[in-house]
Amino acid sequence: MFSKSARLVKQVKVSLPVTPMASRRFLQTAPKFMGAASIRNSRLIAPRSLQLIRFQSQTVKVPDMAESITEGTLSQFLKKVGDYVAADEVVATIETDKIDVEVNSPVAGTITELLAAEQDTVEVGQELFKIEPGAKPEGAAAEAPKAEEPAEKKTEEEAAPAPAAEKKDEPPAAAWAPHPKTAEPAAPAPKETPKQTKEETAAPKAGTFSRNEERIKMNRMRLRIAERLKESQDTNASLTTFNEVDMTSLMEMRKLYKDEFLEKTGIKFGFMGAFSRAAALAAKDIPSVNAAIENNDTIVYRDYMDISIAVATPKGLVTPVVRNVESLSVLDIEKEISNLGKKARDGKLTLEDMAGGTFTISNGGVFGSLYGTPIINIPQTAVLGLHGVKQRPVVVAGGKIEARPMMYLALTYDHRMMDGREGVIFLKTIKELIEDPRKMLLM
């Protein structure tokens, strides 16, 4: 008689080919479910098949990504069927129009089935893969190298066949081959020679031009950027005003304190902290630059300033947000910008890092830009564009002409929210604060 546990096992049994490893695993795990005596007395282990307990596979679905994101593109599976994964290990990545979402395994186990293909569009809640919970198979790490050895040997044999093997193959070929006189015209070599000559003739010579084309599907982030930029052009009454700033004082200040700042924090002293601080101070006099239009008939004014910093990544432009800039020092802003920039380049930005933002600063100068008109990041009202620092002749006090490090500034703003006077005053205030950074301590 089977015990109650043994009967349960018998009901869910699955026949699999017997292997030494499977036998060991069964004998190690079976006592947990049924007594040793029941195993000996039962007929679960057959001569050529093994009755094993198969744990029920667990289906992993596409996780919730954000309130505004309902679908994404399955970028890649990091694991394949048969791979063992630990709990919380990344199995797949999903690309959305804002960030890349990692899908982790909820339990430790073996991947049994992939329910989607790479580059498929997947929705939140859709079944993604199946995993069978369980411990890591014993000897799995040791078996992998053994499986690779025959493949390597096979590759070597294919690359350099043994002479003995060639001799063995010759007699069967001679048994059915036609007379040598008739075989010579039908030999494959003469047929290949004209073909090879034709290919060599058609091959491009030195000095010719290529006319190749390559089409690649736009990733979701690039598509979303394109949509938002076009929406910004269609929605805002954009107007751009320009000014130029003498960077001498700020560059001297950075030269004096950059080593000390780097030693204490491990972060380089750049320009973004000073410009962010200057923008926050200038916004106190021009609050509309930090405001927004809501429902086409309401203006929202804010007593805080969250600045979106434009960061270029391989997949597109992202704008992580430095929050409450009005309450931070120049060095605190530099620290936060450095941390967000590193996360952006490593692809570790979260939706919380990019949510919100009341004003944007875009620094094209790091790429050598001399001049440009930035586009407003809706639903914001304005964007400040920084450009490259170039030595230009400038008329200084006393009518002298000197070479000074100059930068062009560009402020694009929504004319529905701001008049030209406000835009010019805001940009001029930033210019004055940068040209004499000590003023920032007095405001």
Q: Per the domain annotation, does 206 fall within a domain?
A: no
Nearest to 134 by CA among 53, 205, 75: 53
Regarding whether 80 and 47 lie in a shared domain, the answer is: no
Regarding whether 399 and 338 lie in a shared domain, the answer is: yes
Annotated active-site residue 415? The verdict is yes
What's the rounded Cα separation, in Å, for the pair 15 and 18? 9
At 66 the pLDDT is 67
What's the rounded Cα separation, in Å, for the pair 430 and 413? 15
At 354 the pLDDT is 86
127-133 and 58-61 beta bridge pairing: antiparallel
Question: Helices marked H in 81-206 — which ranges?
Answer: 140-159, 163-176, 180-183, 188-202
What's the rounded Cα separation, in Å, for the pair 366 and 362? 10
Number of domains in the chain: 3
Regarding whether 37 and 111 lie in a shared domain, the answer is: no
Structure tokens at 326: 């009005």
- Residue 321: domain span: 220-442
Residues of the chain with pLDDT under 50: 1-21, 23, 26-27, 31-53, 141-199
Regarding whether 111 and 87 lie in a shared domain, the answer is: yes
C-alpha torsion sign, points 188, 191, 196, 202 = negative
Regarding whether 320 and 245 lie in a shared domain, the answer is: yes
Return the CATH number at 301. 3.30.559.10
Q: Per the domain annotation, does 381 fall within a domain?
A: yes
Contact 137, 25 (CB under 8 A): yes
Regarding whether 334 and 299 lie in a shared domain, the answer is: yes
At 29 the pLDDT is 52
Q: Per the domain annotation, does 367 fall within a domain?
A: yes
Nearest to 377 by CA among 238, 174, 179, 192: 238
Find where tokens 């034709």 sit: 198
Contact 360, 289 (CB under 8 A): no
Regarding whether 406 and 386 lie in a shared domain, the answer is: yes
At 402 the pLDDT is 94
Regarding whether 63 and 85 lie in a shared domain, the answer is: yes
- At residue 327, φ and ψ (nearest 5 deg) are -105, 0
Annotated active-site residue 436? The verdict is no
Q: Per the domain annotation, does 44 fall within a domain?
A: yes
Regarding whether 251 and 394 lie in a shared domain, the answer is: yes
What's the rounded Cα separation, in Å, for the pair 319 and 334? 15
pTM: 0.63
At 144 the pLDDT is 41
Q: Per the domain annotation, does 161 fall within a domain?
A: no
Q: Which residues of 103-131 are buried (b: 16+ CB within 10 A; e: fewer)?
A: bebeebbbbeebebeeeeebebeeebbbb
Q: Per the domain annotation, does 396 fall within a domain?
A: yes
Q: Catalytic residue, from 64, 259, 419, 436: name it.
A: 419
Contact 99, 350 (CB under 8 A): yes
Find where tokens 């007699």 sit: 171
- Given 105, 133, 161, the domain boundary residue is 133
Q: What is the dihedral of CA 202, 204, 205, 206, to 10 degrees?
A: 180
Contact 3, 34 (CB under 8 A): yes
- The number of angstroms, rounded, from the C-alpha of 243 to the middle of its chain's C-alpha atoms is 36
Cα separations (Å) of 286 from 181, 279, 385, 408?
Answer: 98, 10, 18, 21
Regarding whether 427 and 386 lie in a shared domain, the answer is: yes
Regarding whether 235 and 108 lie in a shared domain, the answer is: no
Q: Per the domain annotation, does 324 fall within a domain?
A: yes
At 55 the pLDDT is 55
- Given 89, 109, 133, the domain boundary residue is 133
Q: What is the dihedral of CA 25, 28, 30, 33, to 10 degrees?
A: -130
What's the rounded Cα separation, in Å, for the pair 69 and 122? 11
Return the CATH number at 78. 2.40.50.100
Q: Per the domain annotation, does 283 fall within a domain?
A: yes
Regarding whether 355 and 247 lie in a shared domain, the answer is: yes
- Given 133, 161, 193, the domain boundary residue is 133
Nearest to 316 by CA among 224, 388, 382, 214: 224
